[in-house]
Structure formats: C-alpha cells, structure tokens
Structure 1
Amino acid sequence: MGFLDIDNVTKSYGTVEVLHRVDISVGEGEFLVLVGPSGCGKSTLLNMIAGLEDITSGTISINGRVVNEVHPSRRNIAMVFQSYALYPNMTVGQNMTFGLEMHGVPKAERERALKDVAQLLQIGHLLDRKPGQLSGGQRQRVAMGRALVRDPDVFLFDEPLSNLDAKLRVDMRTEIKKLHHRLGRTTVYVTHDQIEALTLSTRIAVMNKGHVQQLGTPREIYDRPANTFVASFMGNPSMNLMPARIVVRDGAPHAQVTLDGASQKLLRLGQPALAAQDGREVILGLRPEAITDEGGADSSAQLVEQVDHVVSVVEPAGADTFAAFTVGGRDVVARLRANSQPRVGAQFPFRLNMDKAVVFDPRTEARIGD
C-alpha cells in the first residue's frame, strides 16, 4: 500500500468511459509523472486526485484515508496550475498566504511560512509586487510558493511549465527537481513533454486513450518499453521501429531486415528466448543512439552489427549529427557524433548496438522475448 493509492479508478461522462480501471500506487516522497498525448486522461486523473472531478468507480486514498467524498479543501493537497491562477489584485505575498488565511492559520504562522518559502524560491524581493508586474518565470515561482506554504501531503502539478519559453522551461525543471530533493514530498506531475517526464520523475505512468500503457522507472520506460506506443512516444527522436523476421542461425536468434531493394541483413539478438520464435514476423526497435558511427559505438556492447547503407537525410544538431536511411520501407534515424561526415546519397557504415534491441509483436504491439 502506497502513500497515494489509485485503485481500479474509472471516469465516465454519460455512457462514455474516458479512464479505464487505473491502478497506481505512489510511495511516500515519490515523484510520479503522468505523461501522454492530449486527451489521454492524465489531467482528468489529476483532477480526480485533487477532488475537482468526481470518481465514477474505484477509490483514491491519501495517507491511508479514502478521499472519494472528501472536499478538495480537506484533502491536504496543493495544486499548481498551468495558468498560474494568481489573483491580479493581490500582491505576491497575499497570493501566497491567501489559502492559509482562509484556513484560519494565525498571522504569525503565515508570515513565518511566507518568509521560509520566499527564501527557498528566491522571490523575497517580489512579495510586494502584483502578478501583472512579473515575468512568466516569476509567476510560476509564485504559484509554486503558494503550494509550498501549505505544507501538504501531496503536491499536484498540471503542466506547470507549458506557458514558458524553451530555456526557462529547462531552468524551472531544474528548480522543481531541486525542490523535490530538498522537501521529499509526494508529487504527481502531469505533462505531455516526455523529456520533462524522463528528467523529473522517480516513476512514470505513460497514458493513452484512458489506459495506463506502462508504469515504471524512467530507465525501464526508455530501455524496455511495454509496447510500440510507449516506444514511439518516449524519446526524441523516438525509437526506430523496423519490420523484421526472427531467423535462428547456429541456435541463436537473429532479426532479418530488408535493406535496399531485396537485399537482406541478419542482425544478432541478445535474447535467447527469441529462438523459440523462429520464422515469426516481428517489429525490431532500436533507439537512435544505438545506431551510430564506428568511433561512437559503445565499447562495452556485446553485440554490435555493421550495416552499410545509403544515407537519405543528414541533420547537423550541434553536439550530434542525425542521419536517416531506410529499412523495410521505414525511415531509420541514427545519432552520430558531431564530427561524423555522412553524405546524402552515399554509403555509410552504421554500427548497431543490438544489446539495446527490443522486439514487438506486430499484431498486439506488445514487447516480446523476455
């Protein structure tokens, strides 16, 4: 049993079920990120935890107490919204302490909490300003400060960085991670940005169409995706997914892929259990960083295959160079070193780290072989 338990929870609007039997247990001090495309149900689930949406069936418990019928103000949670939701006629200090005042917290205690949080967030010099006088990043700090002064059991974040520019998003992401390390409070964070999910979380719930597709650590989600949806959604660029056939040679499983025209290549696989799938059509998955140039190949890899192939696209990207080629009619993206020199229309010797390969069933789209 966790600190926050979401047990067999569903949500329906009329006859339409939008959340389907969600089961997630969040440990005390854990940072859970709910990630998925727009409309997948992640914000609905967060609002149900907060008490802003009713639960159709199932239970939600916080610190051992079922809160299905508990008013939001009595759940001891604090929520940071995408829109900041600051009162424009109040100063920063008043915005941050308004909730405490409504709960009857004595003035001396409110001022002490305000001072501590303002120092933590480095916004002490902004306390007398109005929200209209602040930048987007400063408003986000104030919204976080309003949550922090509450000293809640659970922090809820609903896409809090989506209104910020790219650099400020990275900076604020770092600040949120520092705060979590310092405070150690149970946190549920909603985002559609898979980089935020991977960098902030202790665990991730990847959602799609109201279902939790996979629940695991960032490393589990990235290296061992449960299905092709998780494989393609998590990672930038996403995992390469190539049609292949399992072929056994000398007792060892290989993935047979089609290169230019009808030419084929056998790529060794590191999962011995796949030998039982001889002749089966599969989808082979490899992250772009597992496809590189000779000097960039992982020296600790046990299974490295070379594929000489014509380059179709080259994209310099500062520290990396991305190059694309075609396997089985699908574009495959390789992450090469910046000083690599692939040329469009020319052959290039790509090195594939098959230790990192994963295999999926093309019918169910689920991972197989382990």
Structure 2
Amino acid sequence: MSFLNIDNVTKAYGNVEVLHRVDIAVEEGEFLVLVGPSGCGKSTLLNMIAGLENISGGTISIKDRVVNDVHPSKRNIAMVFQSYALYPNMTVGQNITFGMEMHKIPKPERDRKLAEVAKLLQIEQLLARKPGQLSGGQRQRVAMGRALVRDPDVFLFDEPLSNLDAKLRVDMRTEIKKLHQNLGTTIVYVTHDQIEALTLSTRIAVMNKGYVQQLGTPKEIYDNPANMFVASFMGSPSMNLLPAKLVDHNGALAAELTDSNGGSLRLPLSQQGAGLRAHLNKNVILGIRPEAITDAEGADKRAQNLQPLRNMVSVTEPAGSDTFVTMSLSGKDCVARMRADADARPRQDFDFTVNMDKAVLFDPQTEERIDQ
C-alpha cells in the first residue's frame, strides 16, 4: 500500500456531492500538487486528509493506518496555511516551538529542533522578532518552520504563496523545491497556479468540478492532456485548441483547417494509428502548444514532422526573451511562441513552422483526447 492512500473518497454536504470518488496513491517522498480553479474541491480534499473535514465515503490511509475517524492532532501531519496563522504576541522562536511545547517535548529537544530548522530556512536572525515585524516571505518561512519541527509523516500546504507578490512567489517556490529535495519529505500541495504545479511537483492531480481530470507527472500532463479542460488549464499561454477535420492527405492522416483568409490548409499528423483513423472525415479539435509553432530557424531540429504554414499575423506581443505571435486558424486565435528577434509583424504574412510531433487531437463531443 502507498504511504498516503486516498481510496474512492467522496464528500457531500447534504444531498450535494462536491467530491466524486477520488483515487490517489501517494508514495513516500513524493510531491503531489492538487491544482484546479476555485471551487474544484482541492482544498476540501486537503482538509479531509488533515482531518479538518469529515469524509462522506471511501477511506484515507497514512502509513497503512485508516485515519477517517482519527483526530487531526493524532494523524502526524503538519499543515501550512495560506494565512500563515502565526500568534502575533509570540516571538518567531515561540511560534515555531509552541506545538512541541504543547506535546510536552523537553526544552533541550525543542531548542535543538528550533536551531536546526532556523538554519535550514535561514531565519536565525529573526527568532526574537514578532510576526508583525516580518515581511510576507519571512512569515511564510516561519509557518514552514513550525511545520518542519514536527517531523510529520505528511506535509500539507494550502495555497501558501498566494498572498506574496510575483517575485517573492518565484523565490519561495525555489525554496520549497530545495526543501523537498534536501529532506525527501512527503508533500501534498494545493494551488490554483498551474506554473507552481508544473515546477514543484513530482506528480499533479488536475481537478475540476470535484473530479480528478488527470493524474500524472508534469511532463505527462503537459504533453498528453487527457481532455480539453486539462489542455487549456495547464500551460501559459495555454494550448491552442483549433476546430479541424481529420482527412486523408496522400495516404496519411492530416488535420484540415482554414487560414486567416478562409483558405484550406492541411497539416499531416505524426500519429497514424487505428484510434485516430476511426475519426476519419469527422470534426476534431487540434491541440498544439504555442512553443510548437515557431519560424523555421527556431523549430526543434530533432522533430520528425515539421510543417510549413504561411498565414497572416494578427498581433505581436514582445515578452523579453520571447515574442508571442497571434494568428487566426479556423476562426480561432492561435498563439505562437517565437524568439525575441523573430521578424513577425502585424497584418503581414509570415512563414510559420509547426512541429506536428507535438500535436494532439480531441473529440469535440466528449472533449476527451483521441488515443492513437
């Protein structure tokens, strides 16, 4: 059995079920991120693991022990909240060791753990200060320190970076990643930020409307989204989703689209399996990431299926190291991610190159990915 096992778990408020048969097995040392839009059920699931919410159905086990009816204080978990939840009248040191004191841990042991964690988080110089004297990032470190001294089986993070400014969020993301790599702890982390999910996790559970839409590694989620929701939610800019028709082009499957002038164009697919052929001459949705659309010079030289595409540029957006170029395909905006010096100009035709090795197809009715 897994270190943390979420088995067929449901949550209902009265007759309304808000979490539907969630199955996730978390191995020891894994960093699992629960990601999804507001109201998708991710924080509810985290609170059920913590014992702060009752479980309506199924079981949650930690180290082979079912904890459905176990009090939060007896689960050996530590939680870091979005609000930090520090005691304003206590010093940093007292905030960190308060839980150990309540558990009657001897003072020498408390002092040893405090020194250890303060050094790890680089907050030794802050131990005598009160929370009101700290920046947001410092308060977050203190909240993490309070969790770390517990030496828990599982760390639970509930959107811990959402109150920080953009630069500090990036810095703290790196610190949390380092912490996990150094300590090898088991972490379940909730966020609505898909960049956090992709950069921090060893696996991601993408949630929507109380269902786990897809569970996999960041690469699996990004390259092979299970459905159109995952494709559009994960990635910045998100995957282009373009109405197309699956046709036979010189004996091979191709996606047929229209360009900015309404003319027909065909992009041969890399995959030619029976699963795709079952949709021949039917409408499909072509999914292609912005970075798979470039100019010829910027295209991935390892790609096996690079297709030229001449089309009019609608908008260019310089973004430092990249330039985002928007064109119209099949009546939809399609974003390409170019090098900063790409010579694409609005209202002019441009020679794009599309890496069709990276293309995926979805069924427009079910919105599920079409397997090869």
Shift of 1:165: 0.6
Write the distance in 2 (CA, Å) between the matches of 1:250 and 1:237: 33
Equivalences for residues 194-343 of structure 1 within 5 A: 194-273=194-273, 274-343=276-345
1:348 lines up with 2:350 in the alignment = yes
1:118 lines up with 2:150 in the alignment = no
SS at match of 2:222: helix
1:69 lines up with 2:98 in the alignment = no
Which of residues 327, 352, 363 in structure 1 aligns to 2:365? 363
Q: Match of 1:305, as an amino acid?
A: Q
Aligned to 1:24: 24
Write the distance in 1 (CA, Å) between the matches of 2:39 and 2:137: 26
- TM-superposition CA deviations, 1:165-216 (whole Å, max 9, x none): 1111000000000000011011000000000000000000000000000000
SS at match of 1:368: coil
Shift of 1:248: 1.6
Deviates more, 1:248-257 or 1:344-353: 248-257
Aligned to 2:81: 81
Write the distance in 2 (CA, Å) between the matches of 1:37 and 1:262: 35
Q: Match of 2:83, as an amino acid?
A: S
Write the distance in 1 (CA, Å) between the matches of 2:343 and 2:163: 38
Q: Which ranges of structure 2 fall in alignment gaps of 5 or more residues?
A: none
Write the distance in 2 (CA, Å) between the matches of 1:251 and 1:79: 57
Write the distance in 1 (CA, Å) between the matches of 2:214 and 2:288: 18
Write the distance in 2 (CA, Å) between the matches of 1:16 and 1:230: 24
- TM-superposition CA deviations, 1:47-94 (whole Å, max 9, x none): 000000000000000010000000000000000000000000000000
Q: Which ranges of structure 1 fall in alignment gaps of 5 or more residues?
A: none
Aligned to 1:12: 12
Shift of 1:277: 2.4
Task: Report the TM-score when normalising by structure 2.
Answer: 0.98
SS at match of 2:297: helix
Task: Report the TM-score when normalising by structure 1.
Answer: 0.99
SS at match of 1:311: strand
CA contact under 8 A between 1:248 and 1:275: conserved in structure 2?
A: no
Write the distance in 2 (CA, Å) between the matches of 1:90 and 1:99: 13
Shift of 1:294: 1.4
- TM-superposition CA deviations, 1:262-310 (whole Å, max 9, x none): 3111101111112342101100000000001111100011011111111
Aligned to 2:140: 140
Write the distance in 2 (CA, Å) between the matches of 1:10 and 1:276: 36
Write the distance in 2 (CA, Å) between the matches of 1:289 and 1:91: 48
Q: Match of 1:142, as an amino acid?
A: V
Shift of 1:329: 0.9
Write the distance in 2 (CA, Å) between the matches of 1:22 and 1:251: 43
SS at match of 2:98: helix
Write the distance in 2 (CA, Å) between the matches of 1:186 and 1:369: 33
Write the distance in 2 (CA, Å) between the matches of 1:260 and 1:89: 63
CA RMSD of aligned residues (A): 0.8
Shift of 1:260: 2.8
Shift of 1:258: 1.2
Q: Match of 1:184, as an amino acid?
A: G
CA contact under 8 A between 1:271 and 1:369: conserved in structure 2?
A: no
Deviates more, 1:281-290 or 1:263-272: 263-272
- List structure 1 segments (4+ residues) > 3 angstroms apart after TM superposition: none
1:49 lines up with 2:49 in the alignment = yes
SS at match of 2:119: helix
Shift of 1:111: 0.7
CA contact under 8 A between 1:321 and 1:337: conserved in structure 2?
A: yes
Aligned length: 370
Write the distance in 1 (CA, Å) between the matches of 2:162 and 2:262: 46
SS at match of 2:237: coil
Write the distance in 2 (CA, Å) between the matches of 1:22 and 1:335: 36
Q: Match of 2:249, as an amino acid?
A: R
CA contact under 8 A between 1:251 and 1:275: conserved in structure 2?
A: no
Q: Match of 1:138, as an amino acid?
A: Q
CA contact under 8 A between 1:252 and 1:275: conserved in structure 2?
A: no
Write the distance in 1 (CA, Å) between the matches of 2:188 and 2:248: 45
- TM-superposition CA deviations, 1:310-359 (whole Å, max 9, x none): 11111000000011011111100000110012111100111100000000
SS at match of 1:9: strand
Shift of 1:261: 3.8
